[in-house]
Structure 1
Amino acid sequence: MKVRIGQAASEEEASAIAAALAEHVGDSVEVYAGDDDELVASHEVTDSGDDAPAETDDLGPTEREEKIREEIADIEAGGPKKYRDRLEEQGKLFVRDRLDLWFGDEDDADGTSGETGSGAAGGIHFEDGKFANFDAWHPDGTDGSEDDGDRLPGDGLLTGAAEFEGRDLHFMANDFTVKAGSMAEKGVEKFLRMQQRALKSGRPVLYLMDSSGARIDQQRGFFANREGIGKYYYNHSMLSGRVPQICVLYGPCIAGAAYTPVFSDFTVMVEGVSAMAIASPRMVKMVTGEDIDMQDLGGAKVHAEHSGSADLVARDEEHARELVAQLVTYLPDSADDDPPRSEPKPPKLSPQGIDSVIPESPNKGYDMEDLIDRVVDSGSYFPLQRDYGEEIITAFARIDGRPVGIVANQPAHRAGAIFPDAAEKAAGFIWTCDAYNIPLLYLCDTPGFMAGSQVEKDAILEKGKKFIYATSSATVPKQTVVARKAYGAGIYAMGGPAYDPESTIALPSGEIAVMGPEAAINAVYRRKIDEIDDEAERERFVEEKREEYRHDIDAHRMASEVVIDDIVPPSELRDELAARFAFYEGVEKELPDKKHGTIL
Structure 2
Amino acid sequence: MVGTRSKLDELEQILALATEPAGAGGIAKRAKKGIPSVRDRINLLLDRGTFLETGALARQPGQADALYGDGLVTGRGLIDGRPVVVIAHDQTVYGGSVGITSARKFMRALQLAFDTACPVVTINDSGGARIQDAVGSIASFGDISRVLEKLSGYVPQVSIILGKCAAGSVYGPINTDVLIGTGDSYMFVTGPEVIKAVNGEDITAEELGGAAVQARRGTLHHVADTEADAYEWARKYLSYMPTSCLEQPPIVNPGLEPEITAYDRELDAIIPDSDRTGYDMHEILLRIFDDGDFHEVRAEFAPNLITGFARVDGYPVGVIANQPLVLGGSIDAACSDKSTYFIRLCDAFNIPLVFVVDTPGVLPGLDQEASGVIIRGGRVPRAIIEATVPIINLVVRKSYGGAYGMMAARQVGADLSFAWPTARIAVIGAESAVDLIGKRQLAAVPEEQRAAAREFMVNHYNETIATPWIAAERGYIDAVIEPVRTRLEIRSALRLLRDKPPVKPEFNPRKHAVYPM
Q: Give TM-score scaled by structure 1 length.
A: 0.82
Aligned to 1:5: none
Alignment gaps of 5+ in structure 1: 1-59, 106-121, 140-149
Q: Distance in 2 between matches of 1:229 and 1:532?
A: 71
TM-superposed deviation, 1:301: 0.1
Q: Which deviations, in whole Å up to 9, do the C-alpha atoms of 1:421-449 show, x marking residues without a partner?
A: 11111111111000000000000000011
Aligned to 2:147: 235
Q: Distance in 2 between matches of 1:266 and 1:520?
A: 41
- 1:25-424 correspondence to structure 2 within 5 Å: 62-103=5-46, 105=48, 122-125=49-52, 127-133=53-59, 135-137=61-63, 139=64, 151-224=66-139, 228-272=140-184, 274-305=185-216, 307-344=217-254, 346=257, 350-424=263-337
Higher RCO structure, 1 or 2 (CA under 8 Å, sep 6+): 2
The aligned amino acid for 1:259 is: Y
The aligned amino acid for 2:427 is: V
Aligned to 1:574: 487
TM-superposed deviation, 1:124: 1.3
Aligned to 1:43: none
Q: Which deviations, in whole Å up to 9, do the C-alpha atoms of 1:344-379 show, x marking residues without a partner?
A: 454996110112111122221011111111111125
Query: Is 1:428 equivalent to 2:371 in the alignment?
Result: no
Range that drifts further, 548-557 or 430-439: 548-557
Q: Which deviations, in whole Å up to 9, do the C-alpha atoms of 1:485-511 show, x marking residues without a partner?
A: 100111101000211311011000011
The aligned amino acid for 1:547 is: N
Q: Distance in 1 between matches of 2:420 and 2:135?
A: 63
SS in 2 for 1:449: coil
**Identity of counterpart residues, as a percentage?**
32
The aligned amino acid for 1:203 is: C
TM-superposed deviation, 1:401: 1.0
Q: Distance in 1 between matches of 2:453 and 2:360?
A: 23
Contact 2:249 2:350 survives alignment (8 Å): yes
Contact 1:130 1:153 survives alignment (8 Å): yes
The aligned amino acid for 2:176 is: S
Contact 1:310 1:385 survives alignment (8 Å): yes
SS in 1 for 2:136: coil
Question: Between Structure 1 and Structure 2, how many residues are aligned?
Answer: 507
The aligned amino acid for 1:70 is: Q
Q: Distance in 2 between matches of 1:349 and 1:470?
A: 36
Q: Which deviations, in whole Å up to 9, do the C-alpha atoms of 1:466-502 show, x marking residues without a partner?
A: 2222122111000000100100111101000211311
The aligned amino acid for 2:233 is: L
TM-superposed deviation, 1:134: 5.8
TM-superposed deviation, 1:195: 1.6
The aligned amino acid for 1:297 is: L
Q: Distance in 1 between matches of 2:386 and 2:9?
A: 59
- 1:495-534 correspondence to structure 2 within 5 Å: 495-534=408-447
Aligned to 1:595: 511
Residues 1:295 and 1:136: Cα distance change in structure 2 (over 3 Å): farther
Contact 2:47 2:79 survives alignment (8 Å): no
TM-superposed deviation, 1:539: 3.0
Q: Distance in 1 between matches of 2:114 and 2:481?
A: 44
SS in 2 for 1:232: helix
SS in 2 for 1:496: coil
Residues 1:248 and 1:429: Cα distance change in structure 2 (over 3 Å): same
Q: Which deviations, in whole Å up to 9, do the C-alpha atoms of 1:402-459 show, x marking residues without a partner?
A: 1110000000111001121111111111110000000000000000110100111111
Residues 1:582 and 1:61: Cα distance change in structure 2 (over 3 Å): farther
Q: Distance in 1 between matches of 2:430 and 2:10?
A: 82
Q: Distance in 2 between matches of 1:440 and 1:211?
A: 36
Q: Distance in 1 between matches of 2:135 and 2:333?
A: 42
Aligned to 1:53: none
SS in 2 for 1:192: helix
Q: Distance in 2 between matches of 1:170 and 1:349?
A: 43
Q: Which deviations, in whole Å up to 9, do the C-alpha atoms of 1:89-121 show, x marking residues without a partner?
A: 32321112212222362xxxxxxxxxxxxxxxx
Q: Distance in 2 between matches of 1:86 and 1:437?
A: 44
SS in 1 for 2:276: coil
Q: Distance in 2 between matches of 1:514 and 1:564?
A: 15
Q: Give TM-score scaled by structure 2 length.
A: 0.94
Contact 1:349 1:374 survives alignment (8 Å): no
Q: Which deviations, in whole Å up to 9, do the C-alpha atoms of 1:519-546 show, x marking residues without a partner?
A: 111111223322323321x234323332
TM-superposed deviation, 1:65: 1.9
TM-superposed deviation, 1:200: 2.1
Q: Distance in 1 between matches of 2:163 and 2:511?
A: 39
Alignment gaps of 5+ in structure 2: none
Q: Distance in 2 between matches of 1:438 and 1:535?
A: 56
TM-superposed deviation, 1:596: 2.0
**Structure with larger Rg:** 1
- 1:432-471 correspondence to structure 2 within 5 Å: 432-471=345-384
Query: Is 1:491 equivalent to 2:401 in the alignment?
Result: no
Query: Is 1:548 equivalent to 2:453 in the alignment?
Result: no
Considering fraction of residues, name the structure with more helix: 2
Residues 1:349 and 1:458: Cα distance change in structure 2 (over 3 Å): farther
Q: Which deviations, in whole Å up to 9, do the C-alpha atoms of 1:37-60 show, x marking residues without a partner?
A: xxxxxxxxxxxxxxxxxxxxxxx9
SS in 2 for 1:221: helix
